Each structure stands twice: as structure tokens, then as C-alpha cells.
Structure 1
Amino acid sequence: MSEGGEKARLVAWSHELRRVHARLRQALAVTRDTSDPRDLLLFCHGFCSALDGHHRGEDRTLFPAIAAAHPQLQSTLRKLEQDHSMIGHLISGLQAAVDRAATPGELQRHLQGVAAIMESHFRYEERMLLTVLEGLALDASPEEVLGPL
């Protein structure tokens, strides 16, 4: 591969992360904006699955690759993994509320909590990792690294 082609591939990880975050933000917005309880049920399940898949991919593939290339980012990666755990807990609460057919108001409160933490997490992750991702050599599919979005 030419040097220009290799550089384009390396930079793609930062673009992929931004793209996935944008799609998750959009999915959350669609979920929050629905008023039909059946649609809310469907959108909540889809959004929760997508967000969980994204974080699993990061924890399993992306963060170990970053840690190997940039050991000085260990504490940042631990904080991001802790965020993933906290978001997972919030998602579990949302899924439990969906499963027991909670009121739309209760579901919206769960979604607001997820949205607040998710947005804070995404901003921190982008601030701390986008530059690193521009030079990260990682031979894996975007779906494996960032989830099936």
C-alpha cells in the first residue's frame, strides 16, 4: 500500500469513531422523540443493543490496541471503561423498565439519564482519543472495533 493510502487508512479510525457516535446520538434522539409506546419499546431495544455493542467492541479490541501503542493512556482508558460499566448499568435499568412496560414518562427519565452520561462520555472520549486514532495501526473491521453501526 502506498504511504498516502496507509495514512488514509490510519486516519479513518478517528472518522469511524465520530461516525459511530453520531449514529448513536441520532438513534437516541429518535428513541426519545417517539410517542407511541410500541415504537418506544422497539427503539429502546435497538438503541440499547447498538450502544452496548459499541462499548464491547471498544473494550475488546480498540482499547487494548491503544494501550499497546500508547501506554501513557492507561488511566484514560480505565476511565472510559468505567464509563462503559456505568452506562451499561443505566442501559440495564432502561431495559428493565421497557420489559415491565413502564410508563412513557419513566422511560423518558431513563433515557435522559443515559443521554447525559453518554454525551459526557462521547465528548471525553473524542477529546482524548481522536488524535491517537489518527495514527493507530489496527487491522480489524470497523464493526469489530466500534460495534455494528
Structure 2
Amino acid sequence: MTERETTRLIAWSHEMRRVHARLREALRVTREAVERGESAERPARELLLICHGFCSALDAHHTGEDRTLFPAIAAAHPDLAPVLRKLEQDHSMIGHLLGGLEAAAGSRSSPEVLASHLEGIAAIMESHFRYEERQLLTVLESLDLEADPGEALGTL
């Protein structure tokens, strides 16, 4: 294997870490927007945009993993099927929670309600990211995957 090929393979694990860091930052920004105390009668346009942007980014990340990254891992490492199933179940649960956040933001819910939605998402998202990183980063360093990182890990 050439140095360029090795660098490309290791780049997948670094890219996953970068995507997770950007999503954590997007969650932080979203929480801060809620904490600024937008009124229940008329949520700020900024808050709606931030919530929608965060939800879209996290959903795109999980969709990319489910469609591109996880099938490649499953083909190369069939023994990881239970891990991938758990991660996909997490994706489904997080998707459901994101839908609840978007509905709450769109229906002018109070900052307390929005904060509650974000707290649930944050807890599962962080647990999911840590598990995914523990289980997959080493695998990604040896995965031979010819795909665009934006397609495989979501565009951020």
C-alpha cells in the first residue's frame, strides 16, 4: 500500500471525528439560541433556522452512514453486523427526536420545551457518537472505500 493510500484510509477516521465535532458545535449553537429565551408567542426566525440547520445536518450525517459507509463496513467486516444494527437503530431514534424538535420549533413551543427536546437529542447523540467512535474508528483506518466523504458522512 502506498503512503497516499494509507493517508486516504486514515483520513476516514479523522473525517468522522471532524463531522462529529461539527455536529456537537451545531448542537451547542442551537442550545444557546434556545437559552437566549426566544418567546413562546413568536420564536425568532434565527432559532427556527438554527434548529432546522442542526436537524438537517445530523440527519444528512446518519443518512450518509446508512447508505454508503455502513454497507462498505458490513462487506469488509461481517462480524460488525450487530454494531451496525445498533448504530442504525440509534439513527432511527435520533431521527424521531429530531422530528419532535422541528415540530416544537415550528409550533412556537416555549424555550423550556425546546430545551427539553435538545437535552434528549444531546444525550442520545453523544452516547451514539462515543459508541460509534469506539467501534468504528480503527475499522475506518483500514477500510478501502472509494466514496466522497460528504456522501458517506454527510455534508457539513
TM band (smaller chain): over 0.9
After TM superposition, the structure 1 = structure 2 runs for residues 17-56 of structure 1, keeping only pairs within 5 Å, are: 17-34=16-33, 35=36, 36=38, 37-38=43-44, 39-56=46-63
- What are the Cα deviations for residues 33-57 of structure 1, in whole angstroms up to 9, with x where unaligned? 1224422211100000000000000
Distance in 2 of aligned mates of 1:57 and 1:12: 17
Whole-angstrom CA distance in 2 between matches of 1:96 and 1:27: 18
Q: CA deviation at 1:143?
A: 0.5
Runs of 4+ displaced beyond 3 Å: none
| Identity rate, percent | 69
Q: Which residue of 2 aligns with 1:132?
A: 139
Q: In structure 2, what is the Cα distance between the partners aligned to 1:71 and 1:18?
A: 23
- Counterpart selection for 1:117 from 115, 120, 124: 124
* Root-mean-square deviation (Å): 0.9
Unaligned runs of 5+ in 1: none
Corresponding residue of 2:101: 94
TM-superposition CA deviations, 1:109-129 (whole Å, max 9, x none): 100100000000000000000
Q: Indicate the SS of the match to 1:144.
A: helix
Separation of aligned partners in 2, 1:140 and 1:63: 12
**C-alpha separation in 1, matches of 2:12 and 2:95:** 24
Structure 2 distance, partners of 1:133, 1:69, is 11
The alignment status of 1:106 with 2:105, answered yes or no, reads no
- TM-score norm. by structure 1 comes to 0.97
